[in-house]
Structure 1
Amino acid sequence: MADTRQTEQMTSGKGFVAALDQSGGSTPKALKLYGVDESAYGSESEMYDLIHKMRSRIITSPVFSGEHIVGAILFEQTMDRDIDGIPTAQYLWEKRSVVPFLKIDKGLLDEADGVRLMKPMPGLDDLLDRAVSKGIFGTKMRSVIDGASASGIAAIVAQQFEIAGQVLAKGLIPIIEPEITITISAKAEAEAILLAELTKHVDAMPADQQVILKLTLPETANTYASLVDHPRVMRVVALSGGYSRDEANARLSVNHGVIASFSRALTEGLSAGQPDAAFNEALGDTITRVYTASVAG
């Protein structure tokens, strides 16, 4: 079952969730933004070693701690590796007071009915058991909404909650992430449909269960206020979704009770070639800005 101190931190702790969960498809892009070109690695294994080195540098930085960061989402390969000889999830909680989560989805199916559902997850039970054994608190899974399709969004949310049930049965807390693409013309309409679908599903949950919702920053501030206050919702966190760090922070700061869960916006301005002092200063500045926006509401 979930650790009581971790539950308390995720429910009411001040700070944000660091998304360090780029996987196979997005890792080359993340490395390139960090200043590591594809020519620097010759295999998938070498690529994952390099991204783990980047994530380790972030996590071991003196500015990365529970003072400003309540949780961190890890990729499976990160969970399976160590930091300073300690398993990553254990290091996060014991050395940094940051609650560890694991990304569990296997990517997206092709777009259909205005949405991209998650691919099948063979071996999910085994992965969840491994996560429990490694001290993981919860999971994250992402699907994408590309249009204001009522039937498509209903299918997305139903799939998310079906998998969430499997996660909850293992004593883990699921982060449900039905991302709305920020460039679609009917974004506000899609948000209204998503709000109704999410509400229907959290209303139907047993009284002793909770989920975390990870949502695209809405067009109208406090669109998701009823979910922030819902007894079955532990927390509502926001993805940056392609907004610049400054715009993401500005949007976040006017959504009461919503905290950040940024990935690309978190690592903006960091590079492999930076001396540690410059790296820590840049990361610290970003953490302060994202923290400030997260607690502003």
Structure 2
Amino acid sequence: MNSASTISSVGFCTYTGDGNFDTLEGSLRTISDLGATAAELSLYGEELISGGRIIPGRAERLVEITRKFDLRYSVHGQIVSNFMDSEHLNLQKAVVRAMLELCNRVEAGILVHHSGQAKMPALTRIGELDQMERDALAEMAEIAKGYGVRIALENIFALSDAEYRQTPEKVGETAKAVNSPNVCGLIDFSHAYIECTRLGLNWREQIRAMAPVTGHLHVHDSFGRPYSMTKFYHPAEATALGIGDLHLPIGWGDIPWEEIFSELTFLPDTMLIMEITGERFATEQADSLARALKLVDLVNSRRLAA
């Protein structure tokens, strides 16, 4: 794999030590030792930004750690990032600016940004929310351009009908509407499965519509079941029931991975990140990596044959 491939690198997200850099370094070492070529830095949990400003000493330590490993990096921004949050929009933008600077410092080519969320508005206001997000993304894209970073807009799922989230197809339309090489879509296959089950949509059609503008992938397994119950005393209980956003190793759920990767293609130089952490699934990561590399071959071999 190389940057000329459709999918150019494969790896895992780091699990956060909530500011403990020893945990981050250990996570990166595990990813590197597995033979992966990429890592997604879960920087939302590493106490690197305070009030929208980067904490200099901690950022320097981050750079020291990332330079120890021969990996390509992406950065996962705030879980709560939300460009439909009118009340806190300036604060949201400040953190994204800081995250883009951190991407530059660790030479990460992708910043993962969650698509917007709001209380379900009157139908006449949905267009306003969508436009607010597009305007903010366009503004951030100009900053990302200076750093050589792509902002990857990730599809999420709603927890109930009282929450507005864009469908995967609409997330792709948002990325396309911004019309910048520094904004692309990010397909999270499990998120799409859950949301489309909730809404009664054909999820394969939804991700098919999003794929042409997609430059980053989140892979983890599930059964596509919305949160019909939310209280579990241990993550393994949710796994046993197959409910929710489980982040399972490939093959533990029922997503038809081979079918999907046999038909979809993505933007050049797409990174595939498995959100399957060594914190929970250390003994399953190697098998998931082997499975992921076979999926990558299904995509890249079609490009070579074309």
TM-score interval, smaller chain: 0.5 to 0.7
Aligned-pair RMSD on alpha carbons?
A: 4.3
- Contact 1:104–1:139 (CA under 8 A) maintained in structure 2: yes
Residue 50 (structure 2) aligns with: none
CA distance 1:291–1:195, change in 2 (3 Å) = same
Report deviation, 1:163.
1.8
Tell me what 1:291 maps to: 293
Q: Is the 8 A contact 2:84 2:130 kept in 1?
A: no
Deviation, 1:213, is 1.9
Q: 1:215 to 1:282 in 2, by over 3 A?
A: closer
Q: 2:24 aligns with which of 52, 59, 62?
A: 52
Of 216, 238, 241, which aligns to 2:218? 238
Counterpart of 1:228 (choices 207, 211, 214) is: 211
Equivalent residue number for residue 80 of structure 2 = 107
Post-superposition offset of 1:284: 0.7
The answer to which of 142-151 and 217-226 deviates more is: 142-151
Q: 1:19 to 1:74 in 2, by over 3 A?
A: same
Instruction: Give the match for residue 112 of structure 2.
Output: 140
Which string of whole-angstrom CA distances, capped at 9 and with x for unpartnered residues, describes residues 162-190 of structure 1?
A: 3233111222232222x321655699983
The question of 1:64 aligning with 2:76 is answered no
Deviation digits for residues 48-87 of structure 1 (CA, Å, limit 9, x no counterpart): 24532541342342x2323xxxx322144497546xxx83
Distance (whole Å) between structure 1 residues aligned to residue 153 and residue 75 of structure 2: 12
Aligned residues: 236
- Residues 103 and 282 (structure 1), Cα distance of their counterparts in 2 relative to 1, 3 Å cut: closer
Answer yes or no: is 1:262 the counterpart of 2:264. no
Per-residue deviation, 1:267: 3.7
The answer to whether the Cα contact below 8 Å between 2:169 and 2:210 also exists between their aligned partners in 1 is no
Q: Following the alignment from structure 1 to structure 2, what is the Cα–Cα distance between the partners of residues 215 and 289?
A: 18
Change (3 A) 1:269 1:103: closer
Task: Give yes or no for contact 2:13–2:273 (8 Å, CA) kept in 1.
Answer: yes
8 Å CA contact retained: 1:105, 1:119: no
Letter in 2 for 1:180: I
| CA distance in structure 1 between the partners assigned to 2:76 and 2:108 by the alignment | 11
Is residue 76–residue 112 contact of structure 2 (8 Å, CA) maintained in 1?
yes
TM-fit CA distance, 1:124 = 5.6
Which position in structure 2 is the counterpart of 1:273?
A: none
| Matched residue, 1:180 | 156
Structure 2 unmatched ranges of 5 or more: 47-57, 193-201, 221-243, 300-306
Quick one: percent identity of the two aligned structures?
A: 8
Between the aligned partners of 1:295 and 1:269, the Cα distance in structure 2 is 27
Structure 1 gaps, min length 5: 32-43, 271-278
